[in-house]
C-alpha cells in the first residue's frame, strides 16, 4: 500500500483545553534512568557483567535475512581498555556490498505495499524491546563506544523516542492526505517511498542516530542498508537483531559494516540506491554529496542526500549572565562525553566586563572534573573513541598552545595520568584519555576557534561588546547549535534572531536535544536536510505524488466478476 492509501480509521487525538483554547497533548518522551537510586545502579552493574562472557564474539553481515561472512574480521575494542575486544566484525567486500544492493530492492517491492499503520507497528515493537533491554543496551554502549552511564542511557531513550515518534508521524501523514476536489474531478496528494536507502551512521550516538535514520526510512516504506561506523558495529548488529525479534520481513533492513572506501562508495554510487542518509564528518559528508550528484546512464533518478556534518558551536556569556548557570552550562556542553558530540560547545564567547571572573571560575570547575573508564558510575569525562581521534585532538592541543594561553591542560589531569599508567601496565596501549583542556585569550581567527576538534577542548574568546560577540558567533563555516546566558531582554531578542545555528538555547546547556521537543539539525556546513525528530523529517524519505481523476464518466467497464453477477 502506498503512503496515504489507508482504510483504517484516523486515530483519536487526546485534546485538552487551556485558557479556552484546544491544545493537543504533545509527544511523550521516555524518561531516563535515575542512577541516583541504588537499585538502578545495581541493575547497570549487572548488565555490564552480562557482557563479559559475550566479549570477542563474531558478528556476521546480515543481507536479505541471511548471515554472511567474508573471511575478513575486524575487532571493535573498548576505548577505556583497548586490549578488550567487544566483538569481531565481518567486513563487507565488493561482492557482499553488491549482494546487499541486490537484496534490498527485492524486499522493497513488497514492503512498499505494506500499510503505513503496519509499518509503524514494527517500530512500536522495537521501542518496547529496547525498553525491556534498556540496561543491557546502555551497558553495551558504555563498553563499545565509551559512553558514561547517563550518556548511554540518554542515547537509548532517544532511540526509543525515534521509534515511537516516527511511527506516530507516519500514521499522521498517511491518515491526513491532502484532498482538493473540484466539480467533476478529485485530486489527492500523498507520499510514496523512494526505494533503497543507504544509512551511514556515526559512533558518538551509536544507537540513537542509527535508529533514527533507519526507522525513518523503514516506516516510510523504503528498504535500508546500514553501514555503521567502525567503532559501533556490535551496537548496530544488536539493532538488527531487535528488528528481527519484531519480525520485520527479511531484506527490509540489511547490516553491512565495512570500510567506507568500499561500502560507503558503493552505496553512494550504486544506481539502485535512491537515497543516502549520513551523519559524520564534514569531509566525508561533502564527498558523499559530490559523488552522489554524479549521475550515470544506468541511474534511474537523481540520488537524494541528507547529511549532518558537525559544528563549531559557541555559547555567549553576556555581562549580566547568571554566572553559576553559565559555568554549569558551558562545562556540561563542552566536556560531557569528552566533547564528542556534534552539538558540544567548543567556544565560549565572553563579554569583556565578566571575562576574568568567568575564566577564573571556569578553570576551578574544570580542574575538579573526574575522568575515568566509561563503565565506572562516577565518570564524567571518558576516553575518546580511538587512537586516531586521540592523536588528532592532541595535535590540536599543541596548535592551541602556540595560538593562545593554555590554562587547563588535559595531559596534566591527575585522573588522566593515573589511567594512562594503569591501562598501559595492564597491557593496553595506555587508554585514549584526554582531560578537559581550556585555552583563554584565543584570537577569533585562531585554528582552535574555527576548526572542529571533536574532543574536550574549549576556546574562550573575549568580546568587547555584544555586537562583536554575535559577529564572532557567526564567523565559522558551521551552523549547528549555540546558546547564550543573559538576563537582558534586548540582547536575548537579538541573539534569537541574529545567531546563525539550527538549534539555539537560551540560559541552558546547548546539548541534549529531545525528539519532537527540540528537532535537531543545522545548516551552512553543518548539513543539509530537515531536522531529525521534527514534523517534516519523514517527508525527505518520500516522493510526493498527486492523482487526479475525472469523475464525469459513463459508468465502469465490465469485469468477469460483474458480468457473472449480471448473468
Which residues are the active-site residues? 308, 342
Nearest to 219, CA basis, from 177, 247, 250, 252: 252
Whole-angstrom distance, CA of residue 467 vs CA of residue 175: 48
Strand order in the sheet with 503-506: 405-408, 437-440, 457-463, 345-351, 313-317, 481-485, 503-506
* Torsion on CA atoms 65, 69, 72, 74, rounded to nearest 10: 50
179 contact partners, CB below 8 Å, separation of at least 6: 186, 187, 188, 189
Rounded (10°) angle between helices 134-145 and 149-174: 120
Determine the 3-state secondary structure of 266 from DSSP. Answer: helix
Q: Counting beta carbons within 10 angstroms of the beta carbon of residue 526, is it exposed (0 to 12), middle (13 to 18) or buried (19 or more)?
A: buried
Q: Report the C-alpha gap between 214 and 543 in whole angstroms.
A: 17
Neighbours of 466 (CB within 10 A): 20
SS (H, E, C) 489-555: HHHHHHHHHHCCCCEEEECCCCCCCCCCCCCECCEECCEECCCECCCCCHHHHEEEEEEEEECCCCC
Check: CB of residue 462 under 8 Å from CB of residue 355.
yes
Candidates 305, 279, 24, 304; CA nearest to 168 is: 24
Helix (H, G, I), strand (E, B) or coil at 341: coil
**403 Cβ contact partners less than 8 Å away, ≥ 6 residues apart:** 439, 442, 443, 446, 447, 448
Residue corresponding to grid cell 584570537: 443
Cα-based torsion angle of the residue sequence 437, 438, 439, 444 in order, rounded to the nearest 10 degrees = 110
Q: Which residue in this structure is represented by grid cell 505495499?
A: 113
Chain position carrying cell 482538493: 180
Mark residue 521 as left, alpha or beta (left: phi above 0; alpha: psi -120 to 50; beta: remaining): left
The residues near 94 (Cβ < 8 Å, ≥ 6 apart) are 262, 266
Q: Which helix (H) or strand (E) holds 457?
A: strand 457-463
Reduced to 3 states, what is the DSSP secondary structure of residue 283?
A: helix
Q: Which of 210, 247, 250, 244 is nearest to 226 (CA)?
A: 210
Distance CA 531, CA 500 (A): 15
Amino acid at each position: 500500500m502506498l503512503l496515504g492509501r489507508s482504510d483504517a480509521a484516523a486515530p483519536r487525538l487526546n485534546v485538552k483545553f487551556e485558557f479556552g483554547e484546544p491544545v493537543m497533548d504533545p509527544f511523550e518522551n521516555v524518561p531516563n534512568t535515575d542512577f541516583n537510586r541504588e537499585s538502578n545502579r545495581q541493575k547497570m552493574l549487572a548488565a555490564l557483567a552480562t557482557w563479559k562472557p559475550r566479549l570477542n564474539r563474531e558478528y556476521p553481515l546480515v543481507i536479505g535475512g541471511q548471515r554472511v561472512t567474508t573471511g575478513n574480521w575486524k575487532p571493535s575494542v573498548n576505548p577505556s581498555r583497548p586490549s578488550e575486544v567487544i566483538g569481531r566484525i565481518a567486513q563487507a567486500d565488493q561482492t557482499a556490498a553488491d549482494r546487499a544492493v541486490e537484496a534490498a530492492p527485492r524486499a522493497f517491492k513488497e514492503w512498499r505495499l505494506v500499510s503505513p499503520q503496519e509499518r509503524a507497528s514494527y517500530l512500536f515493537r522495537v521501542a518496547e524491546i529496547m525498553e525491556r533491554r534498556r540496561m543491557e543496551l546502555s551497558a553495551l554502549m558504555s563498553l563499545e563506544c565509551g559512553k558514561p552511564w547517563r550518556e548511554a542511557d540518554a542515547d537509548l531513550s532517544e532511540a526509543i523516542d525515534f521509534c515511537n515518534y516516527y511511527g506516530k508521524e507516519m500514521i499522521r501523514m498517511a491518515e491526513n492526505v491532502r484532498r482538493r476536489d473540484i466539480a467533476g474531478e478529485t485530486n489527492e496528494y500523498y507520499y510514496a517511498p523512494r526505494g533503497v536507502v543507504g544509512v551511514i551512521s556515526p559512533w558518538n550516538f551509536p544507537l540513537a542516530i542509527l535508529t533514527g535514520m533507519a526507522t525513518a526510512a523503514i516506516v516510510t516504506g523504503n528498504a535500508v542498508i546500514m553501514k555503521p561506523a567502525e567503532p559501533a558495529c556490535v551496537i548496530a548488529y544488536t539493532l538488527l537483531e531487535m528488528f528481527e525479534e519484531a519480525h520485520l520481513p527479511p531484506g527490509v533492513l540489511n547490516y553491512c559494516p565495512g570500510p567506507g572506501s568500499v561500502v560507503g562508495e558503493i552505496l553512494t554510487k550504486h544506481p539502485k540506491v535512491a537515497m543516502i542518509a549520513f551523519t559524520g564528518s564534514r569531509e566525508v559528508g561533502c564527498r558523499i554529496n559530490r559523488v552522489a550528484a554524479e549521475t550515470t546512464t544506468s541511474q534511474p533518478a537523481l540520488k537524494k542526500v541528507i547529511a549532518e556534518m558537525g559544528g563549531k558551536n559557541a555559547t555567549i556569556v553576556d555581562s549580566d549572565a547568571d554566572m553559576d548557570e553559565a559555568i554549569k552550562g558551558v562545562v556540561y556542553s563542552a566536556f560531557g562525553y569528552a566533547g564528542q558530540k556534534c552539538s558540544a560547545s567548543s567556544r565560549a564567547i565572553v563579554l569583556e566586563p565578566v571575562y576574568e571572573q568567568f575564566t577564573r571560575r571556569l578553570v576551578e570547575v574544570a580542574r575538579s572534573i573526574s575522568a575515568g573508564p566509561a563503565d565506572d558510575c562516577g565518570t564524567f569525562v571518558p576516553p575518546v573513541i580511538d587512537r586516531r581521534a586521540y592523536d588528532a585532538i592532541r595535535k590540536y592541543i599543541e596548535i592551541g598552545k602556540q595560538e593562545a594561553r593554555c590554562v587547563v591542560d588535559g595531559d596534566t589531569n591527575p585522573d588522566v595520568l593515573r589511567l594512562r599508567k594503569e591501562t598501559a601496565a595492564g597491557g593496553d596501549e595506555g587508554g585514549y584519555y584526554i582531560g578537559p583542556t581550556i585555552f583563554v585569550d584565543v584570537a577569533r581567527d585562531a585554528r582552535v576557534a574555527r576548526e572542529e576538534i571533536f574532543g574536550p577542548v574549549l576556546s574562550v574568546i573575549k568580546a568587547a561588546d555584544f555586537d562583536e560577540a554575535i559577529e564572532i558567533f557567526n564567523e565559522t563555516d558551521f551552523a549547528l547549535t549555540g546558546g547564550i546566558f543573559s538576563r537582558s531582554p534586548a540582547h536575548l531578542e537579538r541573539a534569537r534572531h541574529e545567531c546563525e545555528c539550527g538549534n539555539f538555547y537560551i540560559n541552558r546547556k546547548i546539548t541534549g536535544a529531545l525528539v519532537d521537543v527540540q528537532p535537531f539539525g543545522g545548516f551552512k556546513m553543518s548539513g543539509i536536510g530537515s531536522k531529525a525528530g521534527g514534523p517534516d523529517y519523514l517527508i525527505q524519505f518520500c516522493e510526493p505524488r498527486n492523482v487526479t481523476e475525472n469523475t464525469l464518466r459513463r459508468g465502469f467497464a465490465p469485469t468477469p466478476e460483474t458480468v457473472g453477477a449480471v448473468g
